[in-house]
Amino acid sequence: MVSTQAQKSIFYRLHIDPLLLLGIFSLMGLSLTVLYSVGGYEMLIKQLIRLGIALGAMIILAQISPEMYQRWTPAIFIVGVLLLVAVLVVGHIGKGAQRWLDLGFTKFQPSEIMKLITPLMVAYYISQYTLPPRLKQVFIALLIVITPTILIAKQPDLGTSILIASSGLFVLFLSGISWRYITIAVAAVVGFLPILWFYLMHEYQRGRVLTLINPEADPLGTGYHIIQSKIAIGSGGLWGKGWLEGTQSQLEFLPERHTDFIFSVFSEEFGFIGILLLLTVYLFIIGRGLWIANQAQDAFTRLVAGSITLTFFVYVFVNIGMVSGLLPVVGVPLPLISYGGTSIVTLLGGFGVLMSINTHKRFNIK
Amino acid sequence: MVKQRISIRNHSAESTLFMRRTLVFFIAILFAIGMLISNLYYLQISSFQSYQTRSNDNRISVQTVIPNRGLIYDRNGIILAENRPVYSLQVIVSKTKNLKENIEQLKELLALTESEISHFNNTKRQTRSFKEIVIRDNLSPKEVAVFTVNQHRFQGFSIQANLKRFYPFGDLFTHVLGYIAKINSKDLQQIEQRGDSASYRGTKYIGKLGIEKYYEELLHGEPGLRQVEVDSWGKVIRTLDFTPPVPGKDLKLNIDIKLQLKAQQLLGDYRGSIIVMNAKTGGILTLISNPSYDPNLFVQGISRKQYQKLLQSKDRPLINRATQGRYPPASTIKPQMALLALDSKVITESTVIYDPGWWIVPGSNRRFRDWKHWGHGKVNVSRAIEESCDTFFYDTAYKVGIDRISPFMEEFGFGKYSGLDIGEETKAIMPSREWKKARFRAPWYDGDTISVGIGQGYWTVTPIQLTKATAILARRGEIIEPNVLHSIISVGGSFAAAHEPQKPIQLHDEHYWDIALQAMLGVTSKRSGTAHRAFANTSYSAGGKSGTAQVVNMKEDEKYDASKMKERHRDNAMFVAFAPFKSPEIVATVVLENAGGGSSNAAPMIRAMFDEYFDNQAATSDIKPLGF
């Protein structure tokens, strides 16, 4: 890679990646369009404010150099884990919701920090050794991933703990652990499933899984959401019913239209063509992310950039999969499109780290 | 910083490895997106026709019809909890044309107050624009008429008729019925865990306390479904199909409103409780805890200020004293202590001790006073119960020992839940060696046993436990389970409470029961009995026992003088009784906090309750519930 004019451009000095930013702005535009259709002007304004805050966080995180991230990662990770424990303890005493830590002036969700810091921590640890990592290092890395995953699953917040576990595992896979280990791990998980089903799950959880597999069996109960969602998507057809014209969403047949099920609204109003456009934007962002990862100059930044990008894809895949009836409904938002939530700050924060990695290069290889 | 082992690190190899892995993932991503797209292609292109039809059919919408909650009656068929129609004015903000102007107009039309407007504005901020917001509840028929005439000017506004729970007797039955209130997130969680989400679709209220909570599943019912055709604006055009909801079950309680009213009148300003129970079936005829509060407040949604007032009141109206109030049983448990002493052969019917007015723990100089400080003289077990001699029971408790007292008293239900079918209850404390060790990490002392012997010290009971124990005594050991529910009206018959049949209490000699019960008869009938004045000239014969529980521990030789004590430090007055003596039909407990002596204050109230039960055959037709 040669130091070119582009790298000295205004974007480089501001530590912003223009291509990523383009992708992000495209998604935000689509998001605001759909949200207006669902919730009107009021919702649009509220989301604009949130997006502003999230963009601010992204720009700030992009200014911090990768060396700084590397230096502070262990400390922040340990504090994050302690906060998770604190949330469990406080929540236990208060017998209330266990995700939030009330700091007096604001409420704060430590699991959001963990979404970012967990892959950083695994990368920090793994990159100290030569790659691919040896078995012992793999085990310690797994321990780093499992600790926050279990603490968050206990809250209980299944969606977030899945995202955190996968972000940590991506680092491991990217670090080049041998396919043999991967095969063994997959086999172990598959072997564990029957134990989970027969011994560890409650009756109502099993019931939920069964309706996931066959939602039509319970059309007025849990299956209702997924059936209405599929009708919304399917009736959109090739070109969609048009903006503000989606009867499923406008007549309020769809649940959670502005959050988890916003993809259904989008599909109903903009059809198959709209979906292809949306997926293209996502693919563009993911491609750019992986490109940045490959251009990174050391193992730590490579692994971090790769993991952030891949986790972003997990959001997309799980959300679209669940609203179109391929996957269980686990409560994962469609990234940068769904309304509100603290998750938008975390997502853009991740892109901030990506931008930092791409714009803080110490030396030029070749 | 990183501890890089530069020497053995092959950067370009690592970089290549990473690139290969990224490539694998990129291919996987393409594959996954391909999967999503092919599924979406299937939905939107291949199955388009079918989904389009279903979407159009969605003009037919399925609405949930909330079931009517079951009604609650007393044993005479007087309604204690009902559903009354109320009209409320609602608005859906996204459907309005000129909201601000309309609100101004409502100020004139319905005299909308500033506080109602600010409440509406607050709610509006927290509510999605397509959800309805209630502007005013409880519209009068006149207001309904006025608004309906002007309806065309108010787009997006509508009047909804709903049924609202109403407790016509206000605070009279709060501690029995409990109340229903809006479902909160905690309730939702519980509903989901029970797997009842489908039944509660659309339901806004749930039982929070008392009978309303305990029998929630019976009272709630199953929702119905209404298939309606809606126009492209979502407005209902006509009903296509209707599956009626299954209303909740109507319940009949054992409670007798006449007795309940009498009890409330007797309690007046006292803090305390009265329980009257059928001695054979355990059916609760009266259960009242004073002071009480109006449950209708909670149905409407109580204001923070009102709730704080209830919460912080020194009189603690939110506590159900009958089942949650913990009091030292005092002398009311002397008959049971006598039974135990006889049964464990520590004393016989003819054992006589001399009471000089005090008792000293053998081998020490710790002195326990009798309430009669000049002493009862020579007493046997019968006189000890009739005159409530403390010294006699100090001595027997000392000889019996705590290891026999605790298990025996537990058989009478002390230290255990009575199982009454309103959830709120405490076990109180039946002390034992193990209990004290766990609670205070201290060994049990003889002195502890002596206090327990006269129902003081660590021992606490609830009024419902006392009632149950008295019934067991009156029924000579048969275990009586208290219950409020008489029957489910549509089912008929009497409701079989889910109590396992229990083994009755067996004594070595049936005659012991006679000794204890005869002495209780003496309490109310002999000239020397503590309550003979209260029970003079009754049309029935009753057995009873008084209790006067110390609230503040007094020093060894201090005398009790009610007039000089602060009101909250005065003794608790208690009385337990059953009647008729030969074949007990009812038992009752009265506990009055800080009222002084049990015989002088509590006994006359039981007398009055028994008179009402046995002598007053007046009809219930003149009982008037609260107005709207």
pLDDT at position A98: 55
Residue keyed to tokens 């009024």: B463
- Pair of tokens at residue A303: 């692994």
pLDDT at position B621: 61
pLDDT at position A97: 44
Tell me the torsion sign for CA atoms B406, B408, B412, B416. positive
Average pLDDT of span B134-145: 86
Q: What percent of chain B stands above pLDDT 70? A: 89
**Per-residue pLDDT tens over the stretch B293-346:** 999 999 888 888 888 999 888 888 999 999 999 999 999 999 999 999 999 999
For the cut 90, the answer to whether the pLDDT of residue B541 exceeds it is yes
Instruction: Fill in the DSSP letter of residue B483.
Output: B
Q: How far does the CA of residue B164 sit from the closest CA of chain A (Å)?
A: 26
Task: Enumerate residues 305 to 324 of chain A having a beta carbon within 8 A of any beta carbon in chain B.
Answer: 306, 310, 313, 317, 320-321, 324
**Per-residue pLDDT tens over the stretch B340-399:** 999 999 999 999 999 888 898 888 888 888 888 888 889 999 999 998 899 999 999 999
Task: Enumerate residues 232 to 271 of chain B having a beta carbon within 8 A of any beta carbon in chain A.
Answer: 232, 234
**Residues A207/A196, Cβ–Cβ less than 8 Å:** no
Is residue A30 one of the residues assigned to a domain? no
Distance, CA of B361 to CA of B359 (rounded, Å): 7
Cβ burial, residue A116 (10 Å; 0-12/13-18/19+):
buried
- Pair of tokens at residue B20: 């290969």
Is residue A13 one of the residues assigned to a domain? no
Contact A294 B9 (CB under 8 A): no
For the cut 90, the answer to whether the pLDDT of residue B431 exceeds it is yes
pLDDT at position A92: 53
Reported confidence tier of residue B568, pLDDT bands at 50, 70, 90: low
Characterize B188-212 residue by residue with b for buried, 16 or more Cβ atoms within 10 angstroms of its Cβ, and e for exposed: eeebeeeeeeebbeebebbbbbbbb
| Chain B residues in contact with A308 (beta carbon < 8 A) | none
Residue of B563, B550, B561, B546 whose CA lies nearest to B605? B546
pLDDT at position B553: 47
Residue keyed to tokens 């436990």: B465
Contact B29 A286 (CB under 8 A): yes
Residue of B498, B504, B474, B333 whose CA lies nearest to B414? B333
Contact B44 A233 (CB under 8 A): yes
Reported confidence tier of residue B200, pLDDT bands at 50, 70, 90: confident
Is residue A176 less than 8 Å (CB to CB) from chain B? yes
**Per-residue pLDDT tens over the stretch B256-266:** 999 999 999 99
For the cut 50, the answer to whether the pLDDT of residue A39 exceeds it is yes
**Per-residue pLDDT tens over the stretch A311-322:** 999 999 999 998
For the cut 50, the answer to whether the pLDDT of residue B556 exceeds it is no
Q: Virtual CA dihedral for A356, A357, A361, A362, nearest 10 degrees?
A: 100
Contact B58 A251 (CB under 8 A): yes
Residue of A55, A46, A8 whose CA lies nearest to A259? A46
The beta-strand segments (E) located in chain A are 101-102, 107-108
B59-92+170-253 and B257-288+323-615 share one fold: no
**Residues A281/A307, Cβ–Cβ less than 8 Å:** no
| Chain B residues in contact with A179 (beta carbon < 8 A) | none
CATH code linked to domain B257-288+323-615 = 3.40.710.10
- Pair of tokens at residue A143: 């321990």
- Helices within B75-184 (DSSP H only): 99-109, 114-126, 141-150, 174-177
Cβ burial, residue B82 (10 Å; 0-12/13-18/19+):
middle
Contact B21 A283 (CB under 8 A): no
Distance, CA of A340 to CA of A38 (rounded, Å): 13
What amino acid is encoded at A129 in this protein?
Y
**Per-residue pLDDT tens over the stretch A68-83:** 999 999 999 999 999 8
Which residues lie closer than 8 Å to B110 by C-beta, 6 or more apart?
B89, B136, B139, B143, B146, B147
Is residue A178 less than 8 Å (CB to CB) from chain B? no
Contact A294 B195 (CB under 8 A): no
**Per-residue pLDDT tens over the stretch B130-139:** 667 888 888 8
Q: Please give the C-alpha separations between residue B375 and each of B118, B319, B348, B393, B524, in angstroms, as whole numbers.
A: 70, 39, 21, 13, 21
Reported confidence tier of residue A211, pLDDT bands at 50, 70, 90: low
For the cut 50, the answer to whether the pLDDT of residue B5 exceeds it is no
Reported confidence tier of residue A260, pLDDT bands at 50, 70, 90: confident
Q: Minimal Cα distance from A234: which residue of B? A: B44
**Per-residue pLDDT tens over the stretch B27-71:** 999 999 999 999 999 999 998 888 888 777 666 667 788 899 999
For the cut 60, the answer to whether the pLDDT of residue B627 exceeds it is no
Contact B22 A174 (CB under 8 A): yes
Q: Minimal Cα distance from A39: which residue of B? A: B129
What amino acid is encoded at B378 in this protein?
K
pLDDT at position B6: 46
Mean pLDDT of chain B: 86
Q: How far does the CA of residue A248 sit from the closest CA of chain B (Å)?
A: 7
Which of B1, B24, B31, B43 is most worth mutating to test chain A (most A CB atoms within 10 A of its CB)?
Answer: B43
Indicate the pairing of strand B72-73 with strand B251-253. Answer: parallel
- Measured from the Cβ of residue B148, the count of other Cβ atoms closer than 10 Å reads 11
The residues that bridge with B591 in the sheet, in sequence order, are B273, B574
- Residue among B5, B8, B55 minimizing CB distance to A235: B55
Q: How far does the CA of residue A30 sit from the closest CA of chain B (Å)?
A: 19
For the cut 60, the answer to whether the pLDDT of residue A103 exceeds it is no
Cβ burial, residue A338 (10 Å; 0-12/13-18/19+):
buried
Task: Enumerate residues 26 to 45 of chain A having a beta carbon within 8 A of any beta carbon in chain B.
Answer: 39-40, 42
Which of A65, A124, A251, A282 is most worth mutating to test chain B (most B CB atoms within 10 A of its CB)?
Answer: A251
Contact B55 A231 (CB under 8 A): yes
**Residues A228/A257, Cβ–Cβ less than 8 Å:** no
- Pair of tokens at residue A63: 């200014």
Residue of B87, B84, B137, B130 whose CA lies nearest to B112? B137
- Pair of tokens at residue B151: 């309806």
Residue of B624, B422, B489, B484 whose CA lies nearest to B70? B489
Is residue A36 one of the residues assigned to a domain? no
For the cut 70, the answer to whether the pLDDT of residue B558 exceeds it is no
- Measured from the Cβ of residue A290, the count of other Cβ atoms closer than 10 Å reads 21
Tell me the torsion sign for CA atoms A209, B192, B484, B502. positive
pLDDT at position B224: 86
**Per-residue pLDDT tens over the stretch B471-494:** 999 999 999 999 999 888 876 666
- Measured from the Cβ of residue B5, the count of other Cβ atoms closer than 10 Å reads 10
Phi, psi of B399 (to 5 degrees): -75, -35
**Residues B455/B328, Cβ–Cβ less than 8 Å:** yes
Domain holding A187, by residue range, is 66-338
Cβ burial, residue B434 (10 Å; 0-12/13-18/19+):
exposed
Q: Which residues of B are catalytic?
A: 331
**Per-residue pLDDT tens over the stretch B217-276:** 899 998 888 877 665 455 676 777 788 889 999 999 999 999 999 999 999 999 999 999
Distance, CA of A46 to CA of A339 (rounded, Å): 9
Is residue A40 one of the residues assigned to a domain? no
Is residue A116 one of the residues assigned to a domain? yes
Poorest-confidence range of A137-151, B35-49, B189-203?
B189-203
Half-sphere exposure for A244 (CA within 13 Å, toward CB) = 6
The beta-strand segments (E) located in A93-168 are 101-102, 107-108
**Residues A215/A223, Cβ–Cβ less than 8 Å:** yes
Q: Which CATH class is domain B59-92+170-253?
A: alpha beta
Domain count, chain A: 1
For the cut 50, the answer to whether the pLDDT of residue A195 exceeds it is yes
Residue keyed to tokens 């430590």: A110
For the cut 70, the answer to whether the pLDDT of residue B557 exceeds it is no
For the cut 50, the answer to whether the pLDDT of residue B14 exceeds it is yes
Count Cβ–Cβ pairs < 8 Å, chain A vs chain B.
Answer: 156
Which of A121, A126, A130, A364 is most worth mutating to test chain B (most B CB atoms within 10 A of its CB)?
Answer: A130
A246: left (phi over 0), alpha (psi -120 to 50) or beta: beta
Contact A294 B22 (CB under 8 A): yes
Contact A253 B58 (CB under 8 A): yes
Task: Enumerate residues 45 to 104 of chain A having a beta carbon within 8 A of any beta carbon in chain B.
Answer: 67, 70-71
Q: Minimal Cα distance from A248: which residue of B? A: B55
The residues that bridge with B79 in the sheet, in sequence order, are B73
Mean pLDDT of chain A: 83
For chain B, which residues make up each domain, given as ranges? 59-92+170-253, 257-288+323-615
**Residues B271/B321, Cβ–Cβ less than 8 Å:** yes
- Measured from the Cβ of residue B337, the count of other Cβ atoms closer than 10 Å reads 26
pLDDT at position B2: 46
Q: Minimal Cα distance from B125: which residue of A? A: A42
Contact B14 A176 (CB under 8 A): yes
